[in-house]
Structure 1
Amino acid sequence: MNSGTLVGSLIFAAILMVLITVVIALMLRGWRNRAQRQAELLGDLPDVPERVGAATLSTRGMYVGCMLSPAWNELVMAGDLGYRSKSVLSRHPEGIMIQRNRAQPIWIPRESVTTIRTERDLLSSGAGRIVDPNPILTIRWRLSSGAEMDTGFWASNCSEYSCWLDGQQEQEDVA
């Protein structure tokens, strides 16, 4: 390889590295701005009450994330809500708790829950694209700011979904 070709290759590589760095910096900036906008829209999440009754139902699995409702493509990045983690989903008389590994627990007050259902493509990386053949348990709930959010949970044992769906019907009958 002659010196002219070597110099040209090094210049091309340097320009390419600068372009990649700029693109990554712009992506990070966009994610930060999105998280700030969402934090303002969502407001404060409900705090976990000091005293919570015994869990009436508990399921192990994976917290998938939260989406702004009804925008299926608006993944919530505010706080630590955008990170998947192993978790335990439990129903209490006062509400639903998602205890996540290495993240803050999510508390959903009973009166905030709009519906509990299963979805096949919620939180997937594209409209209608099925990531896993097993459905996702989806909890739609309203925040104090008035915004609605869908929270997704993949259970380790999908047969437990029927208990959650039946329990939703029982809570609606009581209310």
Structure 2
Amino acid sequence: MSPEYVPAVIITLVVVVGVIALILLGWRNRQRRQASVPAPASIPETLSEPRVEVEGTYVVTTSAGDRLDRIAVHQLGLRGPALLSVGSDGVAVLREGNPNFFVPSEALELVDTTSNMVGKAVEKDGIVVLRHTQDGFGFDTGFRPRYHEQKAELLSALRALVPAGTDTTGKDSK
């Protein structure tokens, strides 16, 4: 490398390291601000027989109604491969490399679809959204089925869990 490029390389490296440090600082501060957000329910030892199991991508969990407010605590803000298992007692979210969690059927308030959640934009209605509560805090959890053909069956099974009289489409809540 020519000596005339050394200062430019050093400045570039300093800028890249600085940006990474700021990103990590922002993530840590978000986790600190969200320290009061309750942890999702763990998966019970006994589950009902799954009605539907769908492979796909766990997109993110956000605050209910604000699909741009990523939940950073409890590793809920980390995207990755997952399996959604829907049974009569609730929905098990089985994530690769991150903690699994459970949404009891009585905590499920809404089943919706969207084309975007923080950090992910896809085709129209490509992300299935579950609105649920845990200890009084509302969450929107996004899941993108790997195979489009399974989405209708998944939505049907999920909507069957939502209490009667609740709007399961969520179209008036956007």
Q: What range describes the TM-score normalised by the shorter chain of this pair?
A: 0.7 to 0.9
Given candidates 33, 57, 60, the residue that maps to 2:29 is 33
Given candidates 66, 77, 84, the residue that maps to 2:79 is 84
SS in 2 for 1:63: strand
Residue of structure 2 in register with 1:70 after alignment: 65
Residue of structure 2 in register with 1:97 after alignment: 92
**Most deviating of 154-163 and 81-90:** 154-163
* Deviations 1:25-52, CA, capped at 9 Å, x for gaps: 12211111112322x2312221211211
CA RMSD of aligned residues (A): 2.5
Residue of structure 1 in register with 2:14 after alignment: 18
Aligned pair 1:59/2:50, yes or no?
A: no
Higher share in helix: 1
Q: Percent identity of the aligned residues?
A: 23
Structure 2 unaligned blocks of 5 or more: 167-174
Higher share in strand: 2
> Counterpart amino acid of 2:28?
R
* TM-score normalised over the length of structure 1: 0.80
* Deviations 1:51-77, CA, capped at 9 Å, x for gaps: 111112211111111111222211222
Residues 1-175 of structure 1 correspond to what in structure 2 (within 5 A)?
6=3, 9-38=5-34, 40-125=35-120, 130-132=121-123, 135-144=126-135, 146-171=136-161, 172-173=163-164
Q: Aligned pair count? A: 164
Q: CA deviation at 1:168?
A: 4.1
**Most deviating of 17-26 and 104-113:** 17-26
Distance 1:105 1:158 in 2: 23
> Counterpart amino acid of 2:129?
T
